[in-house]
Structures are given as structure tokens and as C-alpha cells.
Amino acid sequence: MAGTAALAGRPLAGQRTALTAAEAIGRIQKNAGAPWQSETLDTFKAGDPATAVRGIATTAMATMDVLARAARANLNLIVTLEPVFFGRLDGPPTPAGDPVYAAKQEFLRKNGLVVWRFSDHWRARKPDPLATGLAQALGWRPYQVAGDPLHYDLPATSLQSLAGLLQTQLKARAGIRVIGDPATRVRRVSLLPGVSALAATMKDLPESDVIVAGETREWESVEYAADTVAAGRRKGMIMLGRVLSEDPGMSVCAEWLKKLIPEAPVRWLPAGDPYWRPA
């Protein structure tokens, strides 16, 4: 009887307790590749961390469309690069009572979803996972310059053809914008996914034929690139949009999590290009 009581107090051999969201995130924190910072955006944004994980979705942005796809696929822990609630800190809107914010909160609650942001520490990993993912999505890994995930020497092509390739490979609908003569021949490409500062454009454009960027301030980097072209330099800049440029980097995150958290299925759910273009 004593033996039976002892067995009743612990799981039988072969049984495992369900992994909680907090435990899954704890594993990520321990293996992030750098010391975990106390001041960070990388925290739970919605749901109960004690929730048992049925599956994990990675995404560049936890839009309602992404959340709905995750719920249908029974993926209840969403790891997102960008905010879920429309602001850098994911705080409640001002003024209070916004119906879109409330509807998103209700959808998360109703479907038992947990959202955790993975931004500061994912961006800090080396080599740059956002550039690595973008290059993989474009099939550019063989053209990487000397182990540098930000620069690629492609077979020479026109700026227009390169923009068309990006549109096709990334399934862009209308967000891509191009600066420069469409006929300009380009070979050396610099990748600046996500958001980039003017300093990065000023450094990379003289060394490259074209910069493929995510998001910049239009009165800084865009103006600098346009003035470079106006001065007679055969250069180009292709703007993808922030989320579209970051999406493939969260595919890299999904592959990493599959090895780190084998107990749960992991899928990448791209947010996609949010724009359409008038006829």
C-alpha cells in the first residue's frame, strides 16, 4: 500500500506534464545567446503564462489574421517580433474603450491564446537572423559576401528585375517601392531588414549598388538615396516595408524553436504585405 501511495504521488513512467508557456519562454531566455536583460520589450503581452502549450506560432506581427490562423491550427503560444497592441509598449489605447483593441483582447481570451514578444533579444542574435531569413527566402545564401549576412554579390541584373524578383519571392502585394533608374545594373546588394537609421544607408549605399531595406524615415534615408541618384550615381534603394522584410526572420526563429522545444509543434505564420495598390 505504501508503494502504491508513492506511485500515486508522481507521474507514471512515460507520462509527462504539459509544458506551460512560462516554461517554454524560460527555455528561450536561457538559450537566447546573450544575457537576458531586465529592461526589455520581450515580455508576455496577453494570456496566462501558466497555460499548457499545444503549439507555437512565430510571426513578425500578431495581426488578427495571424491570430485567427494560429487558433485554427491549435497553436496557442504566439511568439511575435513586433507589438500586438499597436504601440511599442503594447499598452492600452488612449483614450480608453477603443473597439478594435477590445475585440482583439476578447479574441485572445476566447481562444485561450498567449502572446509573448521576442524582439530585443532576437534582433541581438548573431548572425543577424532577420537578414539571414530574408536571404534564405530569396535564395541568396550562395552569394553571401565573406560570411557577412548583410551583403550579397548577385549575378548582374537590372534594378527593375531585382524589384520584380523580390515581389515574387516575398509574395508582396503592393508595399514595395523603388528609388533609381529601372535600367540600372546592380550586383552588390546590402540588406537592411526591419527599421534602419540614416547612418546605415550612408555607410552601405557607397559600397553597394542597391540597398534592400524594410523601413526608414522618408525624409532621411529615402531622400539621401534619391539625392544620390539625382547626382548621377548609378544606385538604387528598394523599400519592402518593415513587416514584409522581417517576416522571413521569424521563419528562422521557428526552425530554432523546433529544436529547442521539441514537445510542441512549431509553425511560422507570416503576416504578409498589408498593402494593396489602386489601379
Q: What is the pLDDT of residues 152-188, one digit of tens each?
A: 999 999 999 999 999 999 999 999 999 999 999 999 9
CA–CA gap between residue 21 and residue 222 (Å, rounded): 41
User: Is beta strand 148-158 parallel, antiparallel or unpaired with respect to 144-145?
Assistant: antiparallel
Q: What is the pLDDT along the chain (279 residues), one digit of tens a residue?
A: 444 444 444 444 444 569 999 999 999 999 999 899 999 999 999 999 999 999 999 999 999 999 999 999 999 999 999 999 999 999 998 889 999 999 999 999 999 999 999 999 999 999 999 999 999 999 999 999 998 999 999 999 999 999 999 999 999 999 999 999 999 999 999 999 999 999 999 999 999 999 999 999 999 999 999 999 999 999 999 999 999 999 999 999 999 999 999 999 999 999 999 999 998
Closest by Cα among 230, 236, 226, 224 to 190: 236
Domains and CATH numbers, the chain: 2-125 (3.40.1390.30), 129-242 (3.40.1390.30)
Taking alpha carbons only, the member of 120, 57, 56, 130 closest to residue 88 is 120
Cis before 11 (ω within 30) = no
40, 79 in Cβ contact below 8 A?
no
Question: What residues form DSSP beta bridges with 56?
Answer: 77, 266
Residue linked to cell 549576412: 149
Single pTM value for the model: 0.92
